Structure 1
Amino acid sequence: MDPTVLIVEDEAAIVTMLRYNLEREGMQVVEAGDGDEALKILAETHVDLVLLDWMLPVMSGIEVCRQIRRKPESRDLPVIMVTARGEEGDRIRGLDTGADDYVTKPFAIGELLARIRALLRRSGPAQPQGQLIYSDIEMDLAAHRVSRNGKAIHLGPTEFRLLRYFLEHPGRVFSREQLLNAVWGPNIYVETRTVDVHIRRLRKALNDVKGTRDVIRTVRAAGYALDVEAA
């Protein structure tokens, strides 16, 4: 079945250009001109990925992303923020809000399509497998669920893949570049700082369980590792 992409954008010329290129790639396209309309579509229509403009009428793209992440049915939905705001602080804010990727206008359509394809591949149905267990963390690969000390942990798709990679290699230190290649893919143009943002989100989710400690170790000038001796 062809993937469906929701374009949330109020500039008609950009919508037309995106629709043309996405449909050429064999994707279905749904459009929303503002945040309220986007949330209504998501409540009624199956969508595989959202292209979300930051500067929208009525409700900002940042608030739309927050609401997408709050709802269980859309919590894992891949979101790419598309915006003219290119400052590093804006990119970090967009990622912290829950976006999986961030593209600055004007963008190269080939690069955007590559990012969309990569996110769709990574968010596709997981192959039925067993469990990954490390210390008090359990990951059910078939059900796509994570728990710590028996309490369910809600992770976005990127954080899930990041934790899975750590669980598959406990104790090993990975540089940001290694994590980008393993989790995002070798041909994806993502800044290494993006890794720090998703590590922060993963840490927050894992450490939200009462009585637990941080198991992600930061190794200065080297990278990150999953390590029970982290704290």
Structure 2
Amino acid sequence: MSRVARVRAEAGAAWRSFVRRRTAVFFTFFFPVILILIFGALVRTDPTGTGLFTEPPGYYVPGYLAVVVLFTPLSRVGSTVARHREGNRFEKLATTPLTRAEWLAAHTAVNVAIIGAASLLLLGIIVAVTDAAVTPSPWLVPLVALGVTLFCGIGAALGRVADSQDGVIAASNTIALPMLFLAETFVTDDLLPEFVLPLVDLLPLTYFSRGVRAVTYAGTSPVVDVAVLAALAVVAFAVGAAAIPRTD
């Protein structure tokens, strides 16, 4: 069996596992929708120009997309690795030709497909609910794909170090929640304390947010952000693949 065939077979199994888990499907597609309804429909721009959510609706598009690009890969891949460890699945996989990188590539491909579909749904709802002026761009494809790949790699590493699926969820939320609000998503830099600002450039989600905002809102080139995101994705994928155990 060729490498492509092995990855395709594992991806097919991962896809079937996802669609059978109704809770996972619900939260992947509908939790971000609820978030948009809350922030986009119920929270309106402050007419005094002070406080949170004072920017035009289009400014917050990266934040909405970041919810699925960040949370879903971290929790899904991390939980899958932890579940496989608990069930000694990696010991069985060690007897097959499937490598750790191929296993992670298959699960990353499934997540890219799922989150890509969720992102399209969110963009449509964002435009309908928030009246955001969103400029469609082919750059969104590599931005979403690279962002998902990056956080799949981090999720795989979390699944290795966490002692259970519950531990993975706790660890992923601990990482993702602060990043969601500090990485130039919903909170602008001028509202952050000065001591936090140097951390913004160290957060991988920052480059996803900047890239998405560049193409959907500012109308500028995202080349630098895509390049940084690609480099981070390669490193994260390599670390995640190395972290996947052969036996447990």
Whether the TM-score (by the shorter chain) exceeds 0.5 is: no
TM-score by length of 1: 0.31
TM-score by length of 2: 0.29
Higher strand share: 1
Higher helix share: 2
Q: Which has the higher contact order (CA 8 A, sep 6+)?
A: 2
